[in-house]
Amino acid sequence: MEILLLLFVPLSGGILLALFGNHRLAAELNSIISFLTLINAGFLTARIISYGPIVAFHEQFFVDPFNIFLVTLTALVAFTTSLFSRPYMRIEQHHGKLTENRLRLYHCMYQLFTFTMLLALLTNNMGILWVAMEAATLTTVLLVSLYRTPASLEAAWKYFIICGVGIAQALFGTILLYFAAEKLLGIHSSLLWTHLDKIKDRLDPTVMSVAFVFLLIGYGTKVGLAPMHNWLPDAHAEGPTPISAVLSGLLLNVALYAVVRCKILTDGALHSHFAGNLMIGFGLLSLIVAVFSLSHQKDIKRLFGYSSIEHMGLITFAFGMGGPIANFAGLLHMTVHSLTKSAIFFTVGHAAQKTRTQVMENIRGLLIQSPTVGWGLMLGSLAILGMPPFGVFASEFLILTTAMKQQPWATPLLLMALAVAFAAIFGKVQPMVFGETTAQRTPRPPALLPIFVHLSLVLMLGLFIPMYLANWYREAASLIGY
């Protein structure tokens, strides 16, 4: 019941906003719907805590410790982002970048996007997972091109074509998976993950290894893994900032979730480290490509887009290593990266509005005009760069120490990548925050609450992880296996 309600709220909200999305209070309505989704997610979480994993509706949906924390995270970040987008989009409208009709499109698609992500997380059917991932691309294409500038149209086209082709590979992988399972499970249940999980050691290894390659490349395109990452910085830079925040903070996580689900099945079928090794390779490559692209960025949103590729690479690397500690670290890093990166995009959005530019050379001295936005950007950057006491430090530390034990050859590469990222991002953020200012007042006060809620959550996760959360992570980590 909770599952149905959780999916119904954003879906009906999307339809409602398609009708009234240009109303004066549409932004408030958007926040309220997101808040309802968050409450539903809370109820579902409470139920999972007290009753354990559930399977519902002819086994079409299921919830276990691995997806429930992503559901809560998705609902939370979708809600805080809707709070941020309320003043942000009004200022954009004030600056003449948007018409009322486009605002309606924006609000409607925002809710539908949340719906597709929740569906992808909650479904038990690997086919529906694919359908939901494709739908998530479709709902965001028109959002990336919302400003209708030449650059944004180009970014949206690239996003559609690259992700569309990528996800087509994942469909082929899903077909192969179905083929491997059909003989064992019959037509009706052979794409249901809970059934697949039970018989995974009897799936044909040859087919599964081919299937996993297609699935990894397919969903990996959406994770932003190199060399299929080209769409990501463009889409992040040219779309409206709330969309950059949810793309980076949520969609990448959901795509990675799909990869990890497939990895569990492949590991079971192959009894080898094939899937893990592939993920280690793609993860490291993305990490290194991303950090070396950071230093010559001029656009602030592109900079943090590349930073997202870097972190997704790191998480993929962690899941590739496998084992309880690396998986734990990967899950923790998913959480803290999502919270930190969306907080950074909130501050970046307001900074870009105050200076009317996204070019970093022209953003100067944020601290003088608005201490909160300035400190938000500074603290957010320090957090994402892995400075203690923030949560990113904890997860990166765990990943590094596990790497020393399991993949010692990769440790110097990881350390070098983190150092390069630090030099590049800190060197660019510092002059933007301090010094003579180029910022002006915006017609409306910025939304500061979401930024500091996110950063304090990240700080808390760095200092202390609540008992039930740690338990979830541990259970999910053991589900993912080696």
Partner 1 sequence: MIPLSGQLLNLLAAVFLLIAFAMLAQRRILSLIHLYAYQGLVLSLSTLIVAYSTHQPHLYYSMLLNFLLKVLIVPWILHRLIHRLNVQWDVETLLNIPTTMLIGLALVIFAFNLSLPIVQLAGTINRSTLGIALASVLLSFLMMITRSKAVPQVIGFLALENSLIFAATSITYGMPMMVELGIALDVLVGVFILGVFFFHIRNQFDSLELKHMEKLKDN
Helix pair 126-144, 231-238: axis angle to 10 deg:
50
| Nearest by Cα to 261 from 177, 169, 181, 193 | 193
Whichever of 176 and 400 has its CB closer to partner 1, that residue is 176
Asked if the bond preceding 431 is cis, omega within 30° of 0, the reply is: no
- Sequence-distant (6+) residues with CB within 8 A of 70 are 121, 253, 254, 257, 334
Whichever of 12 and 437 has its CB closer to partner 1, that residue is 12
Which residues form the interface with partner 1 (CB under 8 A)? 125, 127-128, 130-131, 134-135, 138, 141-142, 145, 148-151, 153-158, 160-161, 164-165, 168, 171-172, 175-176, 178-179, 182-183, 187-188, 190-191, 204, 206-207, 210, 233-234, 237-238, 293, 296-298, 302
What is the Cα–Cα distance from 157 to 144, expressed in whole angstroms?
9
CB of 224 to partner 1, least distance (A): 15
Asked if the bond preceding 389 is cis, omega within 30° of 0, the reply is: yes
CB of 251 to partner 1, least distance (A): 16
Whichever of 163 and 279 has its CB closer to partner 1, that residue is 163
CB of 226 to partner 1, least distance (A): 14
Whichever of 308 and 342 has its CB closer to partner 1, that residue is 308
Helix pair 150-189, 252-270: axis angle to 10 deg:
40
Whichever of 53 and 127 has its CB closer to partner 1, that residue is 127
What is the Cα–Cα distance from 104 to 137, expressed in whole angstroms?
19
CA 53 to chain centroid = 23
CB of 234 to partner 1, least distance (A): 5
Whichever of 183 and 444 has its CB closer to partner 1, that residue is 183
Whichever of 140 and 327 has its CB closer to partner 1, that residue is 140
For 408, other C-beta atoms within 10 Å of its C-beta total: 9
CB of 233 to partner 1, least distance (A): 8
What is the per-residue DSSP string for 105-170? HHHHHHHHHHHHHHHHHHB-BHHHHHHHHHHHHHHHHHHHTTT--HHHHHHHHHHHHHHHHHHHHH
384 has which bridge partners? Answer: none
Q: Are residues 275 and 263 in contact, defined by beta-carbon separation less than 8 angstroms?
A: yes
CB of 355 to partner 1, least distance (A): 19
CB of 125 to partner 1, least distance (A): 7
